[in-house]
Amino acid sequence: MLHPVPASTRAKSRHASEGLVIFGGTGDLALRMLFPSLYFLEDEGLLPPDLRIIGTARSDLEDAAFAAQVKSAVQTRAGDDFSDETWARFAPRLRYAAVDVQDAAAFSRLGEVLEARRAIFYLSTSPALFGAVCQNLQVAGLVRDDSRVVVEKPIGRDLKSCQAINDTLASIFTEDRIFRVDHYLGKEAVQNLLALRFANTLFEPLWNKASIDHVQITVAETVGVEGRWSYYDDYGALRDMVQNHLLQLLSLVAMEPPASLDPDSVRNEKIKVLQSLRPITGRDVERNTARGQYIAGVADGRSAPGYADESGGDSSETETFVALLAHVDNWRWAGTPFYLRTGKRLPARSSEIVIQFREVPHSIFGGVDLMANRLTIRLQPEEEISLALMNKTPSLEHNGMTLKPLSLNLSLSHAFKDERPRRIAYERLLLEVLHDNQTLFVRRDEQETAWRWIDAIRHGWDHKSTKPSPYPAGTWGPSSAFALIERHAHSWCE
């Protein structure tokens, strides 16, 4: 396990009876991610023996009917990995309580099912309901000093609304009891960034402006907005992806070595990066940002409608693509561009971080083109790390050498083929909540600092009369995204 669990916490989780209450227990996130993750933790013997798992929603369901829904969702996710024996251990943990979170009286039913257990309240509902859940939990006397709360993104759609939600949470739970999820932090490859940087001596001396020319972080999706149009149209790519996932990746790439893996050591370093981000305001909004919206095109080999067509013809100004040039103004990174890019209906589903090293200062190979070294950390679809190096082509030249860039490749799925591939990020996150470890969760100040930076960009866009530029589905975004990077004599790695 990457994160050491304090002995006091281990002891607590061994002895106290625990209850995990999932609000929104019949929703998409719970059935697709949370219950399958809990099932896999059961499979590996990682759930506390007396943990009770309680799903809640408004629907009137018997325990058995709820368990049947969960079983079907787990079977879909686990496929051939489903085991009747594991299910037989997991099913007795499940309970259901019908609770409309806006009805204070309904919480007494939850109290009966919880039976005075030490509770974790997982709020997998719309953030608009967070306030009602917290208040009614407190009124019903279900919040104890040792209760924890887990909250899903989005926490607000700007700094002000984020602060309002955080104030509500803080009125009931102390910060060390609040677990804010960014599921990217549960991904193996994202945690491996810490190992790559701080469990090896090789990269750290080079990890700075002197050796690194620029950094690219891309999170590309091939899907459109699917059934989430009304949510997405209110958020757009900047709020939905950059504020959380991309800025978390940037923080992990750019942060100083933390003193330890303890939650505040890591988060103190991450927030310094966010605080060092140069605000994008004034003329920089035009120069350093590009936004687009997909129009009809061909994606995944099939014709795909445009974003506005998916909504039924609304003339929305929501961006489905964004590219940014960010500057981290500190001693390590001053002058090193960080290019961030994310979008929907792009040609490939891929998330990767590219560390582009500087060119050699002087070539002794005559007119041969030398490609600068490049470290690529791929998070999906496969977890891979590759390092591009220049090599001599084996041949008998009489006139200098022929050189070629080749890659040192580390395929994590190949190197660890006995491990179950494609773990769900929530397995790690739920395990860390059970162990009271906040290292992989976002602290309030981190989240609000990120929103402050995002709000400045959003305000800049709102003051311009331009709309997102169109890009055909199945392409790498609008031409303005290419102009943004080419202006600095760089190009996107594809």
Residue ranges binding ligand NAP (CB under 6 A): 24-30, 57-59, 99-102, 124-127, 129, 152-154
Decide if 341 contacts 322 (C-beta within 8 A): yes
Among 112, 76, 70, 109, which residue's Cα sits nearest to residue 90? 70
The residue among 232 and 476 lying less far from ligand NAP, judged by its C-beta, is 232
Distance CA 52, CA 17 (A): 8
* Whole-angstrom distance, CA of residue 451 vs CA of residue 159: 5
Helix (H) or strand (E) holding 36: helix 35-43
Cβ atoms of 21 and 64 closer than 8 Å: no
In this structure, what DSSP letter does residue 191 have? H
Q: CA gyration radius for the chain?
A: 24
Reply yes or no on whether 459 is catalytic.
no
Q: Which of 214, 245, 327, 435 is catalytic?
A: 245
Rounded to the nearest whole angstrom, what is the least distance from the CB of residue 57 to ligand NAP in the complex? 3
Strands 148-151 and 178-180 turn out to be parallel
Q: Which helix (H) or strand (E) holds 293?
A: strand 289-295
Smallest Cα–Cα separation from 66: which of 42, 110, 31? 31
CA distance 452 to 255: 19
Residues 6+ apart with CB under 8 A from 202: none
Burial 245-272 (b: 16+ CB within 10 A, else e): bbbbbbbbbbbeebeeebbeebbbbbbb
Contact 319, 236 (CB under 8 A): yes
* Alpha carbon separation from 493 to 135, 340, 374, 449 (Å, rounded): 48, 12, 10, 29
Locus of tokens 């019949």: 26
Catalytically annotated residues: 245
